[in-house]
Amino acid sequence: MHHSFKAISLTYKNSSVEIRENVALSPQETEDLLSKIKEYTSAQNVLVLSTCNRTEVYYSHEDDLGDTLVALLGIVKGLSNIKDYNPYFTRITQSIAAMRHLFQVAVGLESQVVGDLQITNQVKRAYQASADANMAGPFLHRLLHTIFFTNKRVVQETGFRDGAASISYAATELVTNLASSLSDPKVLLLGLGEIGTDVAKNLGDAKIRLPNIALTNRTLSRAQEIAEEHEFETFPFANFAQAISQSDIIVSSVAMPQPLITTDLLNDLGLKQPSYFIDLSVPRSIDPKIATLPGVHLFNIDDIRNKADQALEKRLAAVHDVKSIIEEALSEIQQWAQEMEVSPTIQRLKNALEQIRQEEMARHLKDLDSQQLEHVEKVTRGMMQKIMKLPVLQLKAACKRGEAETLIDVLNDLFDLEKHPAKRV
């Protein structure tokens, strides 16, 4: 079955955000798609992965089911024009290429932010959904566990996951570091454009959650939507000055021609505690002169970008090592999959020999006592194991040479194995 592993993939590389958001799947929609694939196809080892940057379906089947899977996706999403999305989906029909792509996605090589920290957990959730839907066969179980082990090797053996390699991740990391030095820190996010939203979601998804995070946006409903997802507080944008006075860390990504936060504003607020301001806006939404005020610390987008660029350079330098680790893992999973292909033949041969052994013992050993029977049982089982040893070794060696099919045919003909079960008897 491993020779028939395939994938369809729509990602940020070949589609706009408008296209991606139309086919992005919620957890419930992922469950619905898995159910429809199970109902309308005979695909096995199905994995549905959907994030803000990609929607992909991995599956095992002899045929290319790409058009069918896209059509089923359209049904789940209620898209009557789903055929228009076909050009955005890449079909990966070679098994090794599909496996390699999933490896690279899972470790972050295919992410917009190279080495994305979130993608591994997203793959784990996709795997859990597949297992819950009884769509994860032995091959997918083995493949995913190999991928997760490979990801650990990448973390332990390379610098690929070191540091925050995007502005939003770097800003999130800075907020977290600053908060760790404060007692009961209060974090305020002003503005929820692309970067502000990413920072909010990163803080919401962080393993160590900060307890006091508040959001505001000129469109309050946008803030409320994100806040509800992550259990943050919100307040009207008109009250931003009061919120600043009650916060320790202020992250601003408000798009406006003039600074929103000025020295006059902060002087009027009479800040009593040290405050940290992070300006992610271009043009700047925080007047750089506030850095001259007592107890005020300011970080601008260049500070954040420099940190992100340094991390990205380190990650890019590790890409070669990451790909080498992936190729090692691919070689192992291929060898396992090839051996799995010959295991039914091995079991059939073993069952055929066992049947012969049992029949001959039944014919000739009727008059033996229990002790004699036990001795003959031991001897004949040992003989059978030695007879089995060479064909098994030859089959596994043939797997590595890609010649297993020929030897399987020979064994089938010699022992008429098709009439014997492949299951253990």
The pLDDT, as a whole number, for residue 405 is 72
- The kind and range of the H/E element at 229 are helix 220-230
Length of the chain: 425
CA dihedral over 244, 248, 251, 257, signed as positive or negative: positive
Q: pTM, whole model, 2 decimals?
A: 0.69
What is the mean pLDDT, run by run of 10 residues, along the chain of 425 residues?
A: 82 89 91 96 96 92 95 95 94 96 95 82 94 94 95 92 80 90 91 88 80 91 90 92 93 89 92 87 89 93 86 90 95 80 75 83 80 86 85 76 71 71 61
Q: What residues contact residue 206 under an 8 Å CB cut-off, 6+ apart?
A: 172, 176
- Span between the terminal Cα atoms of the chain, in Å: 23
Decide if 315 contacts 288 (C-beta within 8 A): no
Active site residues: 52
CA pair distance 64, 58, nearest whole angstrom: 11
Look at strands 275-279 and 249-252 and give their pairing. parallel
Q: Within 10 Å of residue 406's Cβ, how many Cβ atoms?
A: 11
Decide if 97 contacts 44 (C-beta within 8 A): no
Closest CA relative to residue 151, chosen from 109, 120, 110, 111: 120
User: Tell me, what DSSP letter sits at residue 4?
Assistant: G
Q: Within 10 Å of residue 125's Cβ, how many Cβ atoms?
A: 15
How distant, in Å, are the alpha carbons of 30, 41, 76, 133, 198 from that of 36? 10, 8, 9, 11, 32
Decide if 52 contacts 198 (C-beta within 8 A): no
Q: Does the N-terminal peptide bond of residue 257 adopt cis geometry, omega within 30 degrees of 0?
A: no
Tell me the HSE value of 148 on the side-chain side, using a 13 A CA sphere. 12
CA pair distance 244, 133, nearest whole angstrom: 47
User: Tell me, what DSSP letter sits at residue 219?
Assistant: S
| Core vs surface per residue 182-209: b (16+ CB within 10 A) or e | eeebbbbbbbbeebbbbbbbbbbeeeee
Q: What residues contact residue 385 under an 8 Å CB cut-off, 6+ apart?
A: none
The pLDDT, as a whole number, for residue 1 is 43
The pLDDT, as a whole number, for residue 402 is 67
CA 79 to chain centre: 26
